[in-house]
A and B are shown apart, each in its own frame.
Chain A
């Protein structure tokens, strides 16, 4: 589904290489996790895939179902089925959460040549999904993420994901700033979306999120490359021994 080959990326503004040749394939129905120390390039990977400005691709490719992602505008990538749950969801004063979601859902439908969702149908669907994520009516009415707690913001990301029903979900440190209960709520939301047609890339520092969202494959990223790939046991190894051992082993 998501295929990344030899992806090299530098910052646009300065001569700093962040990704130095990333190879990664996420199959439909699978959950891949990327772990790694700070500054290893995990978040950059998520931003480059979703089309954020400020990065320059200097080599390699990234495709979703065979479509070249890197050639597309961010909204085109979204319409194709790519979704990024932000590490720091953006506050947008003056734009109601509900208006925002409905605009997004219908923009994607329009881009795919599907019929727009009626206001009534949208309301019915969002109420249902919001309920399971414990998002109340007030949160839906308020401006996007404005005045939301850290946990509310992350739940709101998952709600967007549930409404947009993407093929490929990237979760960038969705566990950061969450207490145990909030993390469980978020993980339940993600698990509810797991199915045979959908791929996940879960970026995290810590193993604890992976207790709730069980990965099929775990990758260790360091200095702009995937340095080691394994099963869920790799996450446990990181939890017990930190990154130092693995990095030393790779360097040897």
Chain B
């Protein structure tokens, strides 16, 4: 690197840090925490040293971060509909947040055998708490080798959230419901989940949360623990969201996460997974449907630092009327992570010429006995298949929907629970049917 380039970079970084300092001026950390206050202060220092993301950042090359970092949340109309609520038929423990604030009134009693649930604000005020070893800790680990400043921002400023410790097999899912009521709400939530050895939990999340939503979920899985995560992001057209999942897996742990996204002006979902124990499994999948003013970004970073682990990424995007899909997925296999099985698939179905898919799949491997593969494609509806269906009497819009669902099926199949998978498929069908030509 020439001295000139170096000096230019230093200048840019300096400007970025100055802009970040200005942006954060006058914004104070939430009060009332004991160990949490220390974690927040640490996160704020991390953030000040990194600076908020800008267009020039390589990691934000495809998605503009400005509306996520600016002081005010851009307004977003509340999406009203009279459809059956997502996961409404599932027996679960409901925890409701309205514009990013926990609502005891609307939530169920936080009572579930083998599961301890507390509000972050309560846990943070205690002298000693298990969550201390996770809150902001996994996030901080996830800052290397790629910086994720909006996650550090979250750790510093999160105003609410839940901490959940699971000691056994939870008999029903915990369901986080994010309601959006105010057009200009700006929600910052941070959840921490700890699964003890052999514990098993299904976590559901749904709803838009706010006009702008910044959420971090940190999940620590002890040996043999299993975590199932199914999320349906809210349908409000103008909402924006940046979410991070940081997961650390012990030996023989299982982590499975699926996200459905329809609508939303901007969504960036980051998922950072670290294998620390052998023979663990992590699957991350997503299906998204975007129509028009829609940007959806899946950014995944999986670090294999143990032997015989399996990671699988399956992301499918259906885009039309100028919608944009982004995929940045990386598998890092560290020295000694032998017999790693890494699979990554990201595909888009472009329903017209105006839509675009930007993909950056990456493999970085430092072990010699591994099987890693990745495939990224974008294409249109298969004309042969469409004609075949039409020749049997299926009208063109219906046939297109059938093929679209078929395209998404591989991602939805990652949802293990049949009822939840059915729920997701039903939502996809509903969205497609409402938009038939």
* A94–B390 touching, CB < 8 Å: no
Contact A90 B388 (CB under 8 A): yes
Binds A, one of B3-11, B82-90, B221-229, B397-405: B397-405
Leading 5 A-B pairs by shortest Cβ distance: A94-B406, A78-B393, A108-B393, A104-B392, A74-B390
Name the segment of A50-58, A182-190, A192-200, A234-242 touching the other chain: A50-58
Q: Which residue of A52, A75, A89, A143 is within 8 Å of B394 (Cβ)?
A: A75
Min CB distance A153 to B, Å, is: 12
Q: Which one, A53, A95, A104, contacts B393 given CB within 8 A? A: A104
Minimum CB–CB distance from A145 to chain B (whole Å) comes to 9
Cβ–Cβ contact A164 & B390, under 8 A: no
**B394, chain A: closest CB distance, angstroms:** 5
Is A93 among interface residues, defined by CB-CB distance under 8 A? yes
Question: In the assembled complex, which residues on chain A have CB atoms less than 8 Å from the CB atom of B410?
Answer: 94
Complex Cα spacing A160 to B398, Å = 18
Other-chain residue from B384, B387, B398 in contact with A74 (beta carbon distance below 8 A): B387
**Closest Cβ of chain A: how far from B375's Cβ, in Å?**
15
Q: Mark B363-399, 1 if CB is under 8 A from A, else 0.
A: 0000000000000000000111101111111111011
- CB of B409 within 8 Å of the partner chain: yes
CB-contact partner of B391 in A84, A92, A105, under 8 A = A84
- Say yes or no for B407: interface residue by CB 8 A criterion: yes
Contacts of B385 in A (CB 8 A): 90-92
Q: Does A73 lie at the interface of the complex (its beta carbon under 8 Å from any beta carbon of B)? A: yes
Whether the pair B389, A100 counts as a contact (CB closer than 8 A) is yes
Assuming the contacts A75-B396, A90-B385, A107-B398, asked whether A50 and B406 have C-beta atoms less than 8 A apart, the reply is no
Interface residues of A in 231-251 (CB under 8 A from B): none
Question: A111 contacts which chain B residues (CB < 8 A)?
Answer: 393, 395
Question: Does A74 lie within 8 Å of B391, measured CB to CB?
Answer: yes
Q: Could you say which residues of chain B place their CB within 8 Å of the CB of A148?
A: none
Check A94 against B409 for contact (C-beta < 8 Å): yes
Interface of B is mostly: helix
Chain A residues with Cβ below 8 Å from B393 are 75, 78-79, 104-105, 107-108, 111, 164
Residues of B within 8 A of A94 (CB): 403, 405-407, 409-410
Once the chains bind, are B387 and A53 in contact (CB under 8 Å)? yes
Q: Collect the chain A residues with CB atoms within 8 Å of residue B391's CB.
A: 50-52, 74-75, 77-78, 83-84, 86
Q: Is A38 an interface residue (CB 8 A)?
A: no
Interface status of A149 (Cβ within 8 A of chain B): no
A156 to chain B, nearest CB (A): 11
Check if A104 sits within 8 Å of B409, measured CB to CB: no
Contact A78 B390 (CB under 8 A): yes
Tally of A-B Cβ pairs under 8 angstroms = 79
A75 touches B395 (CB 8 A): yes
Q: Distance in Å from the Cβ of A52 to the closest Cβ of chain B? A: 6
Q: Residues of B within 8 Å of A, CB-based: how many?
A: 23
Residues of A within 8 A of B409 (CB): 94
Query: Most chain-B CB neighbours within 10 Å: which of A52, A92, A93?
Result: A92
- CB–CB B403/A92 < 8 A: yes
- The reply to whether A107 and B383 form a contact with Cβ atoms under 8 Å apart is no
Q: Per-residue 0/1 for B395-437: is the Cβ within 8 Å of any A Cβ (1 yes, 0 no)?
A: 1101100110111011000000000000000000000000000
Whole-angstrom CA separation of A74 from B394 in the bound complex = 9
Given A78-B392, A84-B391, A164-B393: A90 touches B384 (CB 8 Å cut-off): yes
For residue B410, give the distance in angstroms from its CB to the closest CB of chain A.
7
List, sorted by A's number, 28 A–B pairs whose CB atoms are closer than 8 Å.
A73-B390, A74-B390, A74-B391, A75-B390, A75-B395, A78-B392, A78-B393, A79-B393, A89-B388, A90-B385, A91-B385, A92-B388, A92-B403, A93-B406, A94-B403, A94-B407, A94-B410, A95-B403, A95-B405, A95-B406, A99-B402, A100-B402, A103-B402, A104-B389, A107-B395, A111-B393, A160-B392, A164-B392
Interface string of A1-26 (1 = CB under 8 A from B): 00000000000000000000000000
Contacts of A99 in B (CB 8 A): 402
- CA of A91 to CA of B384, assembled, Å: 9
A91 to B396, CA, bound (A): 18
Residues of B within 8 A of A143 (CB): 406
Given A94-B407, A94-B410, residue A104 in contact with residue B394 (CB < 8 A): yes
Q: Which residues of A contact B392 (CB under 8 A)?
A: 78, 100, 104, 107-108, 160, 164
CB <8 Å contact, A53 and B390:
no
Question: B203-216 CB contact bits vs A (8 Å, 1 = yes)?
Answer: 00000000000000
Query: Chain A residues with Cβ under 8 A from B394's Cβ?
Result: 75, 103-104, 107
Q: Which residues of A, 102-159, contact B by the 8 Å Cβ criterion?
A: 103-105, 107-108, 111, 143
A52's nearest neighbour on chain B, judged by CB, is: B387
> What separation, in Å, do the CA atoms of A83 and B392 have in the docked complex?
7
In the bound assembly, the distance between CA atoms of A105 and B394 in angstroms comes to: 8
Minimum Cβ distance to chain A for residue B109 (Å): 40
Residue of A nearest to B394 (CB): A107
A80 to chain B, nearest CB (A): 9
B201 → chain A closest CB, angstroms: 30
Q: Besides A92-B388, A103-B394, 5 other CB < 8 A contacts?
A: A74-B391, A75-B390, A78-B391, A92-B403, A111-B395
Task: Write out the residue numbers on chain B whose beta carbons fall within 8 Å of the beta carbon of A95.
Answer: 402-403, 405-406
Residues 193-243 of B at the A interface (beta carbon under 8 Å): none
Residues of B within 8 Å of A104, CB to CB, are 389, 392-394
Give the chain A neighbours of B406 by CB distance below 8 A: 92-95, 143
- Shortest distance between the CB of B187 and any CB in chain A (Å): 36
Tell me which residues across on chain A come within 8 A of B383, comparing CB atoms. Answer: 53
Residues in A neighbouring B405, C-beta threshold 8 A = 94-95
Whole-angstrom distance between the alpha carbons of A100 and B406 in the complex? 11
Interface 0/1 of A47-84, CB less than 8 Å to B:
00011110000000000000000000111011100011
Q: In whole angstroms, what is the CA distance A75 to B394 when docked?
A: 6
Q: How far is the CA of A91 from the CA of B402 in the complex (A)?
A: 14
